[in-house]
Structure 1
Amino acid sequence: MKSQERMRAAHAAYQKGDLSGALVQAEAVLKALPRDHVALQFAGVVAAQAGFPEKASDFLRKAIACGGDNDDNRINLAKVLAELGQWNEALKLCQPPDGKPSQDLQRLEADLLKAQGRPNEAVWAYERIVHEQPDNFDAWNNLGNARHESGDLDAAMDAFQRARQLKPQESIVFTNIARVLMSKDRYEDACLMLEKAALLAPQDPAPLIELGRTLTSMDHPEAGLRALGDAARLDPKNPRVFVSIGQAFTDLSNQPQAERAFKFALQADAKNPVGYLNLGILLEKANRVDELSALVAAARQHGVDGPEISYLEALMLSRAGKLDEALQLAKSISSTAINEATIAQLKGQLADKLGLIDEAFWAYEDMNRAMAQSPLGLSVDRSAYQRNMDGLRHQTTADWFAGWPKVDVSRDPPSPVFLVGFPRSGTTLLDTILMGHSDTHVLEEIPLIETVAQAVGDLTRVGELSANEVAAMRELYFQELAKASPVPAGKMVIDKNPLSMVRMPLIHRLFPDAKIILAMRHPCDVVLSCYMQNFKPTEAMSSFLDLANAARTYDRIFAYWETCRKVLPLDVHMLRYEAMVEDVESEVRPLFDFLGLEWESGVLDHQKTARERGYIRTPSYAQVTEKVYSSASGRWQRYRKYMNEVLPILQPWAKAYGYEVD
């Protein structure tokens, strides 16, 4: 076959999408005509598209050397070299021998600088382009992106506004403006821009994905899911959509749906590292460590590597007790794909277990700093919860309680038992023990009382609720209970939600005969432990982003609790964490007597109960599958130099509850 016929065959194969066939024919032509720059250019383009960048670069270099020194060959070769990481050679191609680069080469140089992570130089290159081409939409848009990456947010916004003037119906500009607004912590404004972008490009899933992720990060996962659902309908095989859907379901504590979404993402792309990361974290939190190991092995088999898989391996090393190896691996991880607070918390946990006190505390500082700078962290008033506690405490007086109108409260269904306590006081261990009894139905932090509190509205009017209102609020509680966790006949409901301890007037109004279990732990230990947790920064939990605020929150909550104890006739049984970890049976037997439940020795096998309960919502998910150890008791002493500033706040409470501080 003659060379011309082979080239025609090569072009025909290319037109059909047969890149391999086209490349075979082109290479056959080059055996006969090794210096034909047209054939070399064609072979280079086909090789690049077929995924052979090294071969493509060889062909394109020869094409330029053999008389094909034109913009097309320079641009194609530069892009291939950039893919190979050969940035310097790629940039040199932007400067032709005559020193007069075309507009296309100027734009390529700017694009390469930006892609290489040199935004300041890219800004200069794009500014030169827009100076010469003031109506170049792409250049203004890219200038905005480069300025954004360089940290010049106001200048970035100026560039995007100019691009918007040039093409007011271009969706991508609104998406880019939204990203700048997010960098300015203006998340609500960013959502408006993303909604506009989605309207302008109704067939493009990208702005919907961005909108869904942003809404989820602002603690609006239901709204996020609506946007992400629309994106999934447009692009049902996009792994990023399903990872984002899984993250929204995770925020809603709907682990089965989250797991399903992450698995969909991996079905769409078996090499998606973020899908592996999120599914792996879910499996680890569900104590499904064997499945986590199998997942990491599957990732390796598909050639997936990088920080996401390293993070999962660090989790497995930690579970295996290989703490030094886990910490070293965790320190090596740096990726925008992994939440900074998540990595910092793992480092802190590992350093703490290894006795590296300073290193652990610094890691927890990094974690809390990152959470404070998150969209949700920036949106909350960290002192609002304390002010709320003060207001409720000042209202809760003996005269106020005496003025409550008497109402007859139904005893059917029976009142729940409420398990409360300051977070990190051992409530998860205790609810696991209670869960092991055949006659209990334990709820794990389902916000039933908060739902009722929202329905009541102004909690200062709890004492004014009429008999009909009390009946309606009780009915609401049991309706929500039936939806969230149907109760088998004859089971005692135990509603575990630590901070329900600040809802005692409401609880007593609706359930005057309710038994209350108070989990107690050394004030210094719980405050430190809360500081070490990566809580979602809600109004209450944002209090724990710094130690001083955490201590003040403890002070306000217990001041209110003690006021309620004095004013209301509450039926309370206090159980100490420190005593429980020393001798579980001696501490919990009286609790079962208090509840009127027959003793069952099986409740002591909390490890078995924890394994059978599946996903645990709280930060204690790993500890409750282990034996009970007392190593966490008195941990604050090891961090005393960091705790000294809050001891004046906590010492009176420690003394009041029989704990030592000196």
Structure 2
Amino acid sequence: MLEQQPMQNKQQFIQQALSAINQRDYVAAHSACVTLIKHYGDDAEAYFLLGIVHIEILQIQKAVRLLNKSAELTPEPQTYAYLTKCYALLGNMPAAVDAASRCPVSSLDKPLALDTVGVSLSRVGLHEEALKYFKAALAKAPDNASFYYNFAVSAKFAGQFDTARQAFEQAIALKPDYYQAHYALSDLGGISDTNNHIERLSVLHAKTTDIDGKLHLSHALAKEYEAFKEYDKAFNVLSEAKQAKRRQFTAVEQHYDAIFNWLQAQQPAVSSANQGDPSSQPIFVLGMPRSGTTLVERIITSHSQVASGGELQDFGLAVKELAKTPSNQVLDLPTLQAAEQLSFAELGSRYLERTSFLLNNKKYLVDKLPFNFFYVGLIRRALPNAKIVCLLRDPMDTCIGNFRQLFSLSSPYFAYAYDLESTGRFYKNFYSLVHHWQNLFPHNVRLQSYEELVTRPAEEIPALIDFCGLSWEAACLQVEKNKAPVSTASKVQVREAINTRSIGRWRQYAAHTAKLEALLADLKAN
């Protein structure tokens, strides 16, 4: 008869789980933790490691439950650090902020935990607070390239551009093929004969085969070529890399056509039988990316009664949560269709609850997520007193701006921007849809011309402020004095006074835009 092996003690199970996590063997890690709990009862460290396992396999909701269980047993700061990460990933900003408050910088001794909280706070737009965690992480681990990169990103969004440049260079010195750092450095601008990275970028670009790495480097090179007015080089390096990336996505046009066509056929009205929340607190600023939404947000939030929420995912997430559709995408046709059956009062209240902590004792909050234009019909019913400002910029400038922008590579929502004609088709659908919304809701939806805004600010801005139901304040004309952090691609431009330099910028690429111009000809005629 075989002799039975003695049961491992708790610490042996924990070490087994840690070793498995380090080897990315999440099945073995999970088994070790579950076996520990089965034989020894509830254990805070075992639940913590189970939470880490579920973060790694992207089961964030379950990770939250496991980490909260760990915190109930033993409220360790490190547990709250990873709860901060989970809530930030879920877009639950109040919960992320609350979790972060339970793991202050002084309570964390592991650099990875400090960096984790910093990244999470940066994700929810709290860049100044994030910088404190990054500085502490770097003090403990000064040779970590990722920590320098994360620190630099928050410094950039907080307007600390020189600090960001130095940190990006540190990241590259530690990791020469750090593609994201190369792009972020070039994106900060300040390119000149004596301060450019074209030679370094070109060498790395030539030997890089990774598609995403090539795309980052191509965007970096394009930024620097543009600084020297070498627009053909910029377009060609972008076009080649974007074509390779586009092949990873299928049926992009069909996906969006189905959504646009369905929304265009809707005739939603506010029903007295299903009235939304009556709050007039939210002001939605939306439109195509690169159309001026950040500028309009800065104008409105220069008002003393208006807070900035940045690009909030909360309305779309509230729709998804209440619709309970099984897909892993927040925005898709089944979710929009299911949302027609929601309680709009509950939807409006859910959104207000998720965003109320951003008010900072002010009366109104600007939510400037561009793609909220898909939700205008739902916003109108869930929040019938909300004001909605939709930016319209010249079609060619908008499409070239989208093509030139490096959006999130992991998001399927921006796949249209890897091809100029696909971008033009998306714009035409957008243009038709927002005019549809404006016709349905003329008192709640303002179509704001970007060109009119920057050429005639003294007339347009007072009209915009009046539309939002605000009293006039002269500070709204001086956006360059608005010092709030900016977490968008416009982080440099919007810190300048209002100007017209971006009008007609597409013409720099006119040698490559004949097909796009033909596609958009009927819109330009309008």
Q: TM-score, normalised by structure 2?
A: 0.70
Alpha-carbon offset, residue 579 of structure 1: 2.4
Counterparts in 2 of 1:371 and 1:288: CA distance versus 1, 3 Å: farther
How far does residue 257 in structure 1 lie from its aligned partner after superposition? 6.8
Q: Work out whether residues 543 and 553 of structure 1, in 8 Å CA contact, stay in contact via their aligned partners in 2.
A: yes
User: What residue is the counterpart of 2:272 in the other structure?
Assistant: 406
> Which whole-Å CA distance do the structure 2 matches of 1:313 and 1:459 have between them?
35
Q: Give the aligned partner of residue 643 of structure 1.
A: 513
What code does the residue aligned with 2:414 have? M
Q: Who is 1:633 aligned against?
A: 503
Q: 1:393 offset after TM fit, Å?
A: 1.9
Kept after mapping to 1: 8 A contact 2:277/2:349: no
Deviation for aligned residue 1:442: 3.1
Distance 1:273 1:248 in 2: 18
Shift of 1:509: 1.2
Residue 471 of structure 1 corresponds to: 345
* CA distance, structure 2, for counterparts of residue 198 and residue 619 of structure 1: 40
2:258 is the alignment partner of 1:387? yes
Find the aligned partners of 1:282 and 1:367 in 2 and give their Cα distance.
Answer: 27
Query: Secondary structure, in 3 states, of the residue corresponding to 1:291?
Result: helix
Deviations 1:437-465 (A, max 9, x none): 11222321112321332244243466655
Query: Aligned partners of 1:240 and 1:579: how far apart in 2?
Result: 48
| Aligned residue pairs, count | 448
Instruction: Tell me whether 1:619 sits opposite 2:489 in the alignment.
Output: yes
Matches within 5 A, 1:128-167: none
Aligned counterpart, 2:393: 521
Q: Which amino acid aligns with 2:436?
A: T
1:519–1:577 CA contact under 8 A, matched in 2: yes
Deviations 1:264-294 (A, max 9, x none): 4423322223322332233123221243366
Gaps of 5+ in 2: 1-15, 34-44, 68-77, 83-107, 324-334
TM-superposed CA distance for 1:432, in Å, is 0.6
Distance in 1, matches of 2:202 and 2:55, equals 27
Is this contact kept in 1: 2:462–2:472, CA < 8 A?
yes
- Aligned residue in 2 for 1:559: 432
Does residue 329 of structure 2 align to residue 459 of structure 1? no
Task: Verify the 8 A CA contact 2:264 2:436 in the aligned structure 1.
Answer: yes
- Cα deviation for residue 479 of structure 1 reads 0.7
Q: What amino acid is aligned across from residue 419 of structure 2 in structure 1?
A: D
Letter in 1 for 2:336: L
After TM superposition, give the deviation of residue 554 of structure 1 in Å.
Answer: 1.5
Task: Quote the offset at 1:436 in angstroms.
Answer: 1.0
- Mapped pair 1:436 → 2:302: yes
Which amino acid in structure 2 is aligned with residue 561 of structure 1? V
* CA shift in 2, pair 1:215/1:521, >3 Å: farther
User: Alpha-carbon deviation of 1:551?
Assistant: 1.7
- Residues 370-410 of structure 1, C-alpha deviations (whole Å, 9 max, x = no match): 7658xxx669956423322222223x14xxx47x7434847
Structure 1 residue 253: deviation in Å? 5.0
Decide which of 354, 360, 364 is 1:492's aligned counterpart.
Answer: 364
Determine the C-alpha separation between the residues in 2 that align with 1:415 and 1:587: 22
Q: Deviations over 1:142-185 (max 9, x none)?
A: xxxxxxxxxxxxxxxxxxxxxxxxxxx99999998xxxxxxxxx
Q: Is this contact kept in 1: 2:182–2:217, CA < 8 A?
A: no
Counterpart CA distance in 1 for 2:117 and 2:438 is 44
What secondary structure does 2:284 align onto? strand
How far is 1:541 from its partner? 1.9
Q: Does 1:445 align with 2:329?
A: no
Matched with 1:361 is 235
Unaligned residue ranges in structure 1 (runs of 5+): 1-168, 177-192, 657-662
Larger RCO (CA under 8 A, 6+ residues apart): 2
> Which of 569, 573, 587 is matched with 2:446 structurally?
573
CA distance in 2, matches of 1:412, 1:213: 38
Distance of 1:412 and 1:310 partners within structure 2: 44
Q: Is the 8 A contact 2:344 2:381 kept in 1?
A: yes
CA–CA distance in structure 1, aligned partners of residues 392 and 52 of structure 2? 43
Q: Give the structure-1-normalised TM-score.
A: 0.57
- Give the number of the structure whose alpha-carbon radius of gyration is greater: 1
Residues 40-71 of structure 1: CA deviation (Å, up to 9, x unaligned): xxxxxxxxxxxxxxxxxxxxxxxxxxxxxxxx
Note the aligned Cα RMSD (angstroms). Answer: 4.6
How far apart, CA to CA, are the structure 1 residues paired with 2:61 and 2:250?
A: 15
Displacement, 1:225?
Answer: 13
Q: Deviations over 1:67-103 (max 9, x none)?
A: xxxxxxxxxxxxxxxxxxxxxxxxxxxxxxxxxxxxx
Counterpart position of 1:584: 457
Alignment partner of 1:345 out of 219, 223, 227: 219
Alignment check: 8 A CA contact 2:299 2:477 kept: yes
